[in-house]
Amino acid sequence: MAKPIILNAAALPEWAHDELDTLFDVLDFPKDTESISTFLSEHGKKVRGIALRKTRIDAALLDALPALEIISSYSAGLDNVDIPATKARRIKIENTSHILAEDVANAAVGLALAITRDFVNADAFVRAGRWPAQSQYPLGRSISNMKVGIVGLGTIGTAIAKRLQAFGSELAYFGPNRKPVDMPYYDDVKRLAHDSDMLILTCPLSPATFHLVDADVIDALGPRGFIVNIARGPVVDEAALIAALAEDKIAGAALDVFEHEPAVPEALIEDRRVILTPHIGSGTEETRRRMAENVVDALARHFNIEGPRDVVANAA
């Protein structure tokens, strides 16, 4: 029986590519953009699945893949996928938000603690030998009892809320819809910012959330407010954030994502009130392995193929 033909558009670990090659007839998506049209003309009609990471899946590409049934994405975010077009075609989409939620939530809380307690600068203070001469380091802020607004209470936002509840933070959330949770709901992010000491951004990037946190929202948050962004960079108007920092309209920001990453504005790099990490929210060995496994397993489940994890489970 012929193996299903899938399109590999994901930079995965070598072992994951080996698993895909064992289970499927794999076609590698061209890296040379000039070759894509020819490739799709020759192979597009046969492709039934996609292993995806960052490649843009737009309506034109979908039109060239009339037999496509499933997209299995390594990422949690799907801002590189034309969602309305996939829904119109009833193409199944699998992502990894349920896998990476715990480590991303851990990273978000770590960033929240680091920015409120100034851990990065405190480390530099000790390393520079300044402690003996300047015994009292400036006081930080406590996230216990702090009013924290979570922007996007999905899988990741819910995991963050669980952790902050343990710290004693006072929580509220913004999103397109009210959730069945015992937490104040806001349908206006500006009002949430006004009533919060910190905004933690976990929402997906979409036309509705592009520059959701703009100058007005930052002004509403106020000069003692903090922003933690582990969502997508363009959710924040980066220019507005830089301007607010320059005018002391915000206390600080902890950013794992950026509007034009990997490029980071010099103004953010030079500002000691900003903590910067290189998009590592899910960056643990354990989670990244499970994410790659899920890309393979989701495709195998869809096509009713016994995958590598199934073999192990059945043997046990």
Q: Are residues 271 and 147 in the same domain?
A: yes
Residue 281 belongs to some domain of the structure: no
Q: How many Cβ atoms from other residues are within 10 Å of residue 101's Cβ? A: 22
Element (H, E) at 279: none
Q: Are residues 106 and 67 in the same domain?
A: no
State yes or no: is 232 an active-site residue: yes
Q: What is the pTM of this model?
A: 0.92
Contact between 253 and 228 under an 8 Å Cβ cutoff? The reply is yes
The one-digit pLDDT tens for each residue of the chain (316 residues) are: 789 999 999 999 999 999 999 999 999 999 888 899 999 999 999 999 999 999 999 999 999 999 999 999 999 889 999 999 999 999 999 999 999 999 999 999 999 999 999 999 999 999 999 998 888 899 999 999 999 999 999 999 999 999 999 999 999 999 999 999 999 999 999 999 999 999 999 999 999 999 999 999 999 999 999 999 999 999 999 999 999 999 999 999 999 999 999 999 999 999 999 999 999 999 999 999 999 999 999 999 999 999 888 765 555 4
Q: Are residues 12 and 59 in the same domain?
A: yes
Q: CA–CA separation, 34 vs 13, rounded Å? A: 26
Q: Are residues 72 and 135 in the same domain?
A: no
What interhelical angle do 308-315 and 285-302 show, nearest 10? 90
Q: Are residues 272 and 167 in the same domain?
A: yes
Catalytic residue among 98, 163, 279, 302: 279
Residues in the chain: 316
Catalytic residue among 141, 261, 301, 309: 261
Q: How many Cβ atoms from other residues are within 10 Å of residue 116's Cβ? A: 20
Tally of domains within the chain? 2
Q: Are residues 124 and 272 in the same domain?
A: yes
- The boundaries of the domain holding residue 83 are 5-96+286-315
State yes or no: is 90 an active-site residue: no
User: Token pair of 89, please?
Assistant: 């075609």
Amino acid, single-letter form, for residue 146: M
265 burial (CB, 10 Å; 0-12 / 13-18 / 19+) is middle
Catalytic residue among 17, 48, 232, 288: 232
* DSSP at 249: -
CATH number for the domain harbouring residue 15: 3.40.50.720
Q: Are residues 291 and 255 in the same domain?
A: no
User: Token pair of 162, please?
Assistant: 């669980």
State yes or no: is 279 an active-site residue: yes
Q: Are residues 220 and 303 in the same domain?
A: no
Q: Are residues 52 and 173 in the same domain?
A: no
Q: Are residues 179 and 156 in the same domain?
A: yes
Q: Are residues 144 and 233 in the same domain?
A: yes
